[in-house]
Amino acid sequence: MKRNWLQVFTGMLALAFIAAFYSPSQAAPPYPSRDITVIITWGAGGTSDLSCRQLADPMGKILGKTIIPLNVVGGSGAIGMNQGAHARADGYTITFVTSGPTVIQPWVQKVTYDPTKDFIPVAQVFGEYLVVVAKSDAPYKNLKEMADYFKKIGKSPKFATPGAGSNNHLSMVLLSKAIGIPMTHVPFSSSAEGVNAVIGGNVDIASTEPPSAVGPAKEGRAHILAILSASRLDLLREVPTVKEQGYDLVFGGWNGILVPKGTPKEVVDKLADAAKRALENETLIKNSAIVGRPIEFLSGPEFGERIKKELARNGEIIKAEGLAVK
Amino acid sequence: MDPIHGLLYGLSRAIEPQMLLMGFLGCLWGTMVGVLPGIGPVAGITILMPFTFGMDLTPAMVMMAGIYYGAMYGGSTTSILVAVPGETSSIVTILDGHQMAKQGRAGAALALSAIGSFIAGTFGILGLTFLAPPLAELAIGFGPPEYFSLALVGLSMSSFLSNASLAKGLAMAVLGLIIGTVGLDIVSGQPRFTFDNMELAGGLDIVSILIGLYGISEVMEMMASKIRPHVRHEKLWNLRRLLPNRTEWKLSIWPMIRGSVMGFFVGALPGAGGTVPSFISYAMEKRMSKTPERFGKGAPEGVAGPESANNSGAVGAMVVLLTLGLPYNVVTAIMLSSMIAHGIFPSPLLMARNPEFFWTVVASMYIGNFLLLILNLPLVGVWSSLLRLPYRWMTVFIILFCIIGVYSIEYRGFDLLIMAVFGGIGYIMKRVDLPAAPLALAMVLGPIMEKSLIQSLIMSDGSPLIFVTRPFAAASMILFFSLMFLPLIQKKLGRRIAPVGEVDM
């Protein structure tokens, strides 16, 4: 036992000696010295997966290493978040987050991570906007006409979303308040299913990501009533925002990068810088416009503020809607 | 472009060396992926994704389509040989396919499955060529009430899936329904049976359960029977005659044709894919058979029908993918996101708006289907000779495949735990003679049924009349009730027509 202590002591002395002669940058190889894993909290094939892969490619090239996407699926994104939160804080495991598991799921289910305390925000990279779709032969072409129509017939419109407690669901709750009519929620499993339910006349409107609405809108089977962004989207130039239609509502999701707390500052800065520069990549700019997730960069601190603010706001909506975990 | 010209144009593109190569690589990789249960179809395709951002979409899509139906072809191989389903659509193949293998007819079962797949694939592609737009219209009219009533009919088929007693079958179906409710409730988002465990909140992965229930329990059975050597040991690996004999052919040809036609149309319903058609085909063949008691004991119809149905169903699923943008599994989801990344949005007008893309992909499927037959038939001998491996090696390899297969679905250790637990459950079920197939069917259909029931009732403001006022839903309901109660009435009247499982067992 005694000898062990002695060995440890000598070892520490030796380390201290070495440390005294080497500057920190020489002690550890400069970051990144090996490939980086980025956790995606959604399955392969979804829009989030696509956006993450589109970003990982140029970002890795800037850092001089490959960024390998890893889909960690389950619990509406909570499983991946948990893994990302408790990964080693060395910058070799980063998490590509969407708003759902960051600012919604902590209210809806018991999660084993704290989105504000367990992570350091690196950067927000994309904005994510939702549109409201109606059937093309519906007797309303904008939100005001829709509100008037349902007031007149004394019914509430039924809206489709990709699930309870989704971004889409929360946005529709807010929209219902903004335009002043009650609405009934019909949960589906994906945005595309919701849009098809609208076209098939099974529900009145659907909240969806732009890619699922573009096809049906182009061929005149569906009509996009509004987009919930602050300004019009390149992909959907002709679709007016909710604000333009006279209602005070902007609701957007986002994608960003988080690292576990305790990650060295220079690593965080390097990642943030690489993300920012990757967003200037032309292929990425083109592709992100096509999938309807425009580039919206926010620095780490700004992104952190946004997370805190939206977490608080969503908590209120979710509790009021009776969706909160008991 | 009309279909004929489109197809000719597509063929001229599809035989270009680059397209041919892509198609061939896709089929080869797909077959491998299918044969090794679950091994990286997702990883295999996602690795290609960044590469497709800069690449032309058409060859990428040709390759991905090759992987998709190649995996369908290969998926049945392990079901037949070692009772490990590579995916949900090859579960029913185990029932008779594996029995055939045990009786030394593995080669015949594999050949029937490959030929059935080819016939069905060809039929499905013909359907895709000529019927895609009208089918898309039909699928759009299919709302929650239609899904609910159809799922109900599907569930009533669980009694055809085993030779066990009605009570046992029902008990297992109910257990399957319960397992299907684990996770977050779709309306309120409240967790059910999750015990505050985040992994459980996502629901149980069905493929992990199936591999446990069938694959792991089969290994346990093998090991148990090794202690007490079984008589079947000598006869088991007799593989002198690899191809189906005349009787097997005669029995199989009609099931193949029926499976192909039905599979395509059912597969073209969003979400059905190849799985639902394979179950329907099995139940249908058993119901139509004059000797239903042979089913579950190595009836060739029980392989030929479902194997054809799942392949044409997979092609049918391409209709909803390309026209409505509804993927039914991860592979099709990745195809969809690659299309969107290139600015090609799914639409019933796809063939008019992007004829180059649409027809080349369709034409490449014809070629791929031939390639697969050529690839698979000679392999029948190779695969069946694997059965000559001694038990002690075989068990190790099966377990290895099961573990890699399950882990590569979503890279979650938790799924392995699920597989192990259900392996144990499956073994107990085998011992006490409880059928696994009704459980599997209920697990597949349960969530669809619950979701569409809730959606329908929200749509109708709570009135159940919605299920009888819509024509298709009403027709399905009538079918359901007649399937359920006709046998009882027949029994009451003392009029026994055909020996149907649910009446006399």
The CATH architecture one would assign to domain A35-129+253-320 is 3-Layer(aba) Sandwich (3.40)
Is the CA virtual torsion A175, A177, A183, A186 positive or negative? positive
The distance of Cα A22 from the centroid of its chain, to the nearest Å, equals 42
What would the two tokens of residue B227 be? 């202690």
A259 vs B379, which has greater pLDDT? A259
Asked whether the beta carbons of A49 and A71 are under 8 A apart, the reply is yes
Residue B162: exposure state from Cβ atoms within 10 A (0-12, 13-18, ≥19): buried
Asked whether the beta carbons of A55 and A20 are under 8 A apart, the reply is no
Q: Does position B161 have pLDDT exceeding 60, yes or no?
A: yes
The CATH architecture one would assign to domain A131-227 is 3-Layer(aba) Sandwich (3.40)
Is the CA virtual torsion B35, B38, B42, B48 positive or negative? negative
Model pLDDT, residue B126: 92
Model pLDDT, residue B50: 64
Tell me the pLDDT band of B77, cut-offs 50, 70 and 90. confident
Domain count, chain B: 1
Model pLDDT, residue B236: 42
Q: What are the tens digits of pLDDT across the range B480-501?
A: 888 778 777 777 776 554 444 4
Model pLDDT, residue B234: 36
Among B354, B374, B315, B370, smallest CA distance to B9 is for B354
Residue that is written with structure tokens 């690489």 in the block = A274
Q: What are the tens digits of pLDDT across the range B184-217?
A: 777 777 778 888 787 787 788 888 898 888 888 8
Instruction: Report the phi/psi class of residue B390: left, alpha or beta, with left for phi > 0 and alpha for psi in -120 to 50.
Output: beta
Q: Which of A82, A184, A197 sits opposite B143 (nearest CB)?
A: A197
Q: How far is A179 from chain B (nearest CA, A)?
A: 22
Closest-approach residue (CA) in chain B for A48? B337
Cβ distance B347 to A218 less than 8 Å, yes or no, reads: yes
Q: Does position A274 have pLDDT exceeding 90, yes or no?
A: yes
* Interface-testing mutation among A37, A39, A73, A283, with chain B (most B C-beta atoms within 10 A): A73
Cβ distance B202 to A43 less than 8 Å, yes or no, reads: no
Q: What's chain B's Rg over C-alpha atoms? A: 22
Coil/strand/helix, residue B263: helix
A299 and chain B in contact, CB less than 8 A = no
Closest-approach residue (CA) in chain B for A71? B410
Rounded distance between C-alpha atoms, residue B75 and residue B91, angstroms: 10
Rounded distance between C-alpha atoms, residue B89 and residue B169, angstroms: 20
What would the two tokens of residue A121 be? 């925000």
* Interface-testing mutation among B198, B416, B454, with chain A (most A C-beta atoms within 10 A): B198
Q: How far is B330 from chain A (nearest CA, A)?
A: 6
Q: How many CA atoms lie within 13 A of A56 on its CB side?
A: 27
**In Å, what is the CA distance from A81 to each residue of A312, B229, B270?**
19, 50, 31
Closest-approach residue (CA) in chain B for A219? B349
Cβ distance A203 to B343 less than 8 Å, yes or no, reads: no
* Interface-testing mutation among B48, B53, B322, with chain A (most A C-beta atoms within 10 A): B53
Model pLDDT, residue A5: 60
Count chain A–chain B contacts defined by CB atoms under 8 A: 164
Cβ distance A196 to B336 less than 8 Å, yes or no, reads: no
Asked whether the beta carbons of B214 and B83 are under 8 A apart, the reply is yes
Model pLDDT, residue A95: 97
Tell me the pLDDT band of B2, cut-offs 50, 70 and 90. confident
A231 and chain B in contact, CB less than 8 A = no
What count of other Cβ atoms lies within 10 Å of the Cβ of residue B9? 16
Residue B391: exposure state from Cβ atoms within 10 A (0-12, 13-18, ≥19): middle
Residue that is written with structure tokens 């804080």 in the block = A89
B59 vs B237, which has greater pLDDT? B59
**In Å, what is the CA distance from B244 to each residue of A233, A245, B304, B384, B391?**
60, 69, 11, 13, 25
Q: Which of A45, A112, A202 sits opposite B337 (nearest CB)?
A: A45
Model pLDDT, residue A326: 64
**In Å, what is the CA distance from B104 to each residue of B77, B98, B107, B233, B326?**
15, 10, 8, 11, 41
Cβ distance B202 to A192 less than 8 Å, yes or no, reads: no
Mean pLDDT of B319-339: 84
Q: Does position B408 have pLDDT exceeding 60, yes or no?
A: yes
Asked whether the beta carbons of A248 and A92 are under 8 A apart, the reply is no
Which domain covers residue B314, as residue numbers? 3-504
Cβ distance B186 to A187 less than 8 Å, yes or no, reads: yes
Closest-approach residue (CA) in chain B for A68? B47
Mark which residues 405-424 of B lie under 8 Å from A by CB.
410-412, 414
A131-227 shares the fold of A35-129+253-320: yes
Residue that is written with structure tokens 């991570």 in the block = A113
Residues of A in contact with B142 (CB under 8 A): 200
A289 vs A185, which has greater pLDDT? A185
Model pLDDT, residue A286: 85
Model pLDDT, residue B43: 63
Q: Does position B107 have pLDDT exceeding 90, yes or no?
A: no
Model pLDDT, residue A4: 61
Q: What are phi and psi of A112, to 5 degrees?
A: -105, 35
Q: Does position B246 have pLDDT exceeding 50, yes or no?
A: yes
Residue B242: exposure state from Cβ atoms within 10 A (0-12, 13-18, ≥19): middle
A191 vs A223, which has greater pLDDT? A223
Cβ distance A71 to B42 less than 8 Å, yes or no, reads: yes
Cβ distance A164 to B144 less than 8 Å, yes or no, reads: no
Closest-approach residue (CA) in chain B for A73? B410
Q: How far is A266 from chain B (nearest CA, A)?
A: 28
Task: Map out the domains of chain A as residue ranges.
Answer: 35-129+253-320, 131-227
DSSP notation for B60-96: HHHHHHHHHHHHHHHHHHHHHHHS--SSGGGHHHIII
Model pLDDT, residue A14: 59
Q: Does position B477 have pLDDT exceeding 80, yes or no?
A: yes
Model pLDDT, residue B500: 45
Cβ distance B198 to A110 less than 8 Å, yes or no, reads: yes
- Lowest mean pLDDT, pick from A150-164, B16-30, B312-326, B400-414: B400-414
A182 and chain B in contact, CB less than 8 A = no
Q: Which of B343, B347, B459 sits opposite A202 (nearest CB)?
A: B459
Mark which residues 188-217 of A lie under 8 Å from B by CB.
188-190, 192-193, 196-197, 199-203, 211-212, 214-216
Mean pLDDT, chain B, as a whole number? Answer: 83
Residue that is written with structure tokens 């698979």 in the block = B376
